[in-house]
Structure 1
Amino acid sequence: MSQVLIINGAYRPEGVIAQALAQLGTTLVEAGVKVEWVELNGYPIEFCHNCRQCMQHPGRSPGHCILSDGMSDLVAQMERADAIVLASPTNFGSVTALFKRFMERLAVYGYWPWSAPGPQLRKLGLVPKPAVLLDACAAPGWIGRWLYRSQPQLAYAAKVVGAKPVARATLGGMAGQPQPTLTASAKKQVARAAQRLLQTLEPAT
């Protein structure tokens, strides 16, 4: 059975991103895929200390962080997942601070000895896992994809952990009401992303 890890960087438990992920997750489960969820809002991740201790040992496996929090468990989940879904609303032109904090802790996926001028990605050159990248914004979707940094940031996080996007969706026009709901167009985008992900996974057994 294929296993997909969904990482939600939204603040609102019933917001647009949560609704989109619920739809995507339901589609995957109904297709026989095992789904694990991580809600970064409330998840025990501390801020990166930028000490680079996790980056000193070579190898393909992620380094060991000096911080004792939930990140080691999250790294283990990413390592065993067959595919990853990364999601965040757009705040101030980029992913949320929750997702950015998570991104900074992905330093464990880099190898950067003190003598080297820059880091190397541990997963670079390996067959990548499929990923779905999902963001939402107040602007129309095409403007959000062109103007904001959310999609490039999600894409870089995917690259760092050894994943490659097979589907992307920017849900635009999501600030017209205090409690926005998914539009028909947004639901179609999510449905297409779910189907593209399913096409890349092995048939469920």
Structure 2
Amino acid sequence: MKKILAINGSYREGGVTDQILDHFEYAANTFDMQIETAVLRNLHIEFCTNCRRCTQEAGRKPGTCIHEDEMNTLIQKIENADFYVFASPTNMYSSTALFRRFLERLVVYGYWPWSKNAPEFRKEGDARKKAILVSSCAAPGFMGRYFSDTLKSLKSAAKLVGADSVGTLFVGLVGKERSPRLSDKNIREIKSLAMKLI
């Protein structure tokens, strides 16, 4: 059975991002795929200190971080997954600080010895995996997609772990209610996106 790993960078339990990933889970089960969601707000993940120790080790596998926290387990889950869903709401024109912290810790996927001017991506040249990118925002969806940095953060995460985006979902106008719900159209879009991972 193929495995999907979803990364949830939302602060709000039961918010739009949680709802989207709940529907992804339902769709994945319908297509006989296994999905696990890593909810970043529930994980102990330290900030990257930019010491670059993890980038000194050559090889295709991720480097070893100095921090002994739950990111190490999450890296193993990333390695074992066949597909990904990267999800973060848009806050102040970018992804959440939760997602940014996760993204910075993906530096383990770079090989950057002190003698080099720039890093090499460890997954460069490997067979590419598929990823779906998900966000929500108070603005209309097309504006959030093109006028915020959220999509750039989500794409960066996918690239670092060796994946290419095969679809995106940007749910807009979610700031008009205290507890917004997904529309039927959103749910159909989620099912359609899940099919792209098959």
- TM-score, reference length from structure 2: 0.98
Q: How does 1:51-130 map to 2 (within 5 A)?
A: 51-130=51-130
- In structure 2, the partner of 1:40 is 40
- The separation in 1 between residues aligned to 2:14 and 2:33, in whole angstroms, is 23
3-state DSSP of counterpart to 2:143? helix
- In structure 2, the partner of 1:136 is 136
Matched letter for residue 13 of structure 2: P
Is 1:174 aligned to residue 177 of structure 2? no
Matched letter for residue 80 of structure 2: R
- The separation in 1 between residues aligned to 2:148 and 2:183, in whole angstroms, is 21
- The Cα of 1:185 is off from its aligned counterpart by 2.8
- The Cα of 1:188 is off from its aligned counterpart by 2.6
- The separation in 2 between residues aligned to 1:186 and 1:11, in whole angstroms, is 21
- In structure 2, the partner of 1:21 is 21
3-state DSSP of counterpart to 2:72? helix
Tell me the number of residue pairs that the alignment of Structure 1 and Structure 2 aligns: 198
- The separation in 2 between residues aligned to 1:184 and 1:36, in whole angstroms, is 24
3-state DSSP of counterpart to 2:88? strand
- The separation in 1 between residues aligned to 2:164 and 2:44, in whole angstroms, is 26
Question: Does the CA contact (< 8 Å) of 1:48 and 1:101 recur in 2?
Answer: yes
3-state DSSP of counterpart to 2:176? coil
- In structure 2, the partner of 1:188 is 188
- In structure 2, the partner of 1:3 is 3
My pick for the range that moved more, 3-12 or 179-188, is: 179-188
Is 1:49 aligned to residue 49 of structure 2? yes
| Deviation readout 1:158-189 (Å, 9 max, x if unpaired) | 00010111111111111110001112332232
Is 1:164 aligned to residue 168 of structure 2? no
Question: Does the CA contact (< 8 Å) of 1:167 and 1:197 recur in 2?
Answer: no
- The Cα of 1:70 is off from its aligned counterpart by 0.6
Matched letter for residue 127 of structure 2: V
- The Cα of 1:130 is off from its aligned counterpart by 0.6
3-state DSSP of counterpart to 2:151? helix
> Structure 2: 5+ residue runs without aligned partners?
none
- In structure 2, the partner of 1:202 is none
3-state DSSP of counterpart to 1:175? helix
- The separation in 2 between residues aligned to 1:153 and 1:135, in whole angstroms, is 11
3-state DSSP of counterpart to 2:138? coil
- The separation in 2 between residues aligned to 1:187 and 1:27, in whole angstroms, is 10
3-state DSSP of counterpart to 2:131? strand
Question: Does the CA contact (< 8 Å) of 1:129 and 1:164 recur in 2?
Answer: yes
